[in-house]
């Protein structure tokens, strides 16, 4: 690690193979916390390259506990986190709404590092037991239309740096990696990024792969469609800026999607929305994200049609029932 750190301190970049090798060594717990913190800090001080991100991703995918869910045509809906906006759990709620429409969801997630409540915090608060048993995950998909892939159960490298990440309490390149390394390799993905540069890197990496994807970045900094302003959308068909008004939606205030100051606060909001008692702003944000997720799976579907499907899932309490089924299995 010393040689790698000296190289990085001289403003040099890692090749794809070097990046892969160093992350494999990190996963093997070859380095102490000081080395890990120094290594992660480098990529907070300058942009990560496509080769570096690709190399790190290749290492995690090579080392991960893989599960084969390919027969279900799943979608993952996940953001990088690290946007500092402290919203409620939009991507997780969106996942349950999408599952409530009948679409299979393989949600990849983790505990929060830089916000109050991550997807794993939320699922754990509802009593969900994390597992990497493929048989159990398939049962969840068949009976609840959704399964949850808790990152530390699948990624030894994530586990090796978890204490350092928690101590730093800042977004690191691991935030950028999470959405790219779902161990089930779903064929459909809606990914959110905390900055435009990461969105472009994702697009560069994913555009040659045999998957359907949408990458979103709200221009005011959210790693999801926030309806607080316009957002950039990348797909295999190109890129575009979309404003709430283009979708027939009202712009909302940041305070309207605040997630509270604790996991308990976030869980209360989560339950309220699933009960059909969310505010208009809360509902429209999750429904809009759900509609774009459904459009990724079927690009012939109009936004209006997808939005109506999502509404039926939410207000028909199918999304709520999906959560209840998942936790009860």
How far is the CA of 98 from the CAs of 116, 119, 122, 129, in angstroms?
Answer: 24, 16, 17, 21
The per-residue pLDDT for 142 is 97
Instruction: Confirm if 155 and 181 have CB atoms less than 8 A apart.
Output: yes
Q: Angle 318-328/303-315 helices, nearest 10 degrees?
A: 60
Query: Which listed CATH number (1.50.10.10, 1.20.970.10, 3.40.190.10, 1.10.730.10) goes with 2-63?
Result: 1.20.970.10
pLDDT number for residue 118: 86
pLDDT at 114: 57
List the chain domain ranges: 2-63, 72-328
Tokens of 190: 């809606």
Domains 2-63 and 72-328 share a fold: no
- In this predicted model, what pLDDT tens digit does every residue of 75-124 receive, in sequence order? 999 988 777 788 899 999 999 999 999 999 999 998 876 566 789 999 99
At residue 154, the pLDDT reads: 93
**Domain 72-328, CATH:** 3.40.1030.10
pLDDT at site 113: 62
Which stretches does DSSP call E strand in 134-229? 146-150, 188-192, 212-218
By CB atoms closer than 10 A (0-12, 13-18, 19+), residue 145 is buried
Q: List the structure tokens of 250.
A: 């009202």
Residues in the chain with pLDDT < 70? 113-116
């Amino acid at each position: 690690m010393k040689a790698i750190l000296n190289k990085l301190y001289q403003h040099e970049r890692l090749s794809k193979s070097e990046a892969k090798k160093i992350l494999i060594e990190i996963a093997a717990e070859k380095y102490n916390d000081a080395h890990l913190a120094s290594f992660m800090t480098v990529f907070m001080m300058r942009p990560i390259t496509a080769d570096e991100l690709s190399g790190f991703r290749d290492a995690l995918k090579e080392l991960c506990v893989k599960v084969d869910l390919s027969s279900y045509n799943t979608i993952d809906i996940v953001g990088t986190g690290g946007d500092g906006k402290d919203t409620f759990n939009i991507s997780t709620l969106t996942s349950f709404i999408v599952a409530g429409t009948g679409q299979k969801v393989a949600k990849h997630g983790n505990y929060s590092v830089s916000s109050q409540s991550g997807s794993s915090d939320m699922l754990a608060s509802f009593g969900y037991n994390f597992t990497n048993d493929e048989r159990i995950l398939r049962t969840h998909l068949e009976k609840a239309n959704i399964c949850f892939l808790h990152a530390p159960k699948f990624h030894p490298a994530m586990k090796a740096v978890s204490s350092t990440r928690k101590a730093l309490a800042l977004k690191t390149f691991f935030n950028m990696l999470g959405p790219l390394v779902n161990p089930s390799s779903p064929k459909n993905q809606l990914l959110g990024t905390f900055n435009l540069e990461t969105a472009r890197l994702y697009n560069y990496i994913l555009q040659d792969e045999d998957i359907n994807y949408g990458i979103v970045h709200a221009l005011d900094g959210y790693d999801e469609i926030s309806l607080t302003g316009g957002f950039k959308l990348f797909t295999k068909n190109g890129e575009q800026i979309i404003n709430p008004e283009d979708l027939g939606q009202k712009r909302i205030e940041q305070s309207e999607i605040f997630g509270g100051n604790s996991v308990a606060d976030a869980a209360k909001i989560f339950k309220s929305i699933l009960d059909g008692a969310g505010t208009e702003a809360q509902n429209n944000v999750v429904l809009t994200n759900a509609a774009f997720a459904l459009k990724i799976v079927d690009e012939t579907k109009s936004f209006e049609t997808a939005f109506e499907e999502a509404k039926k899932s939410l207000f028909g309490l199918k999304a709520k029932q999906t959560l209840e089924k998942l936790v009860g299995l």
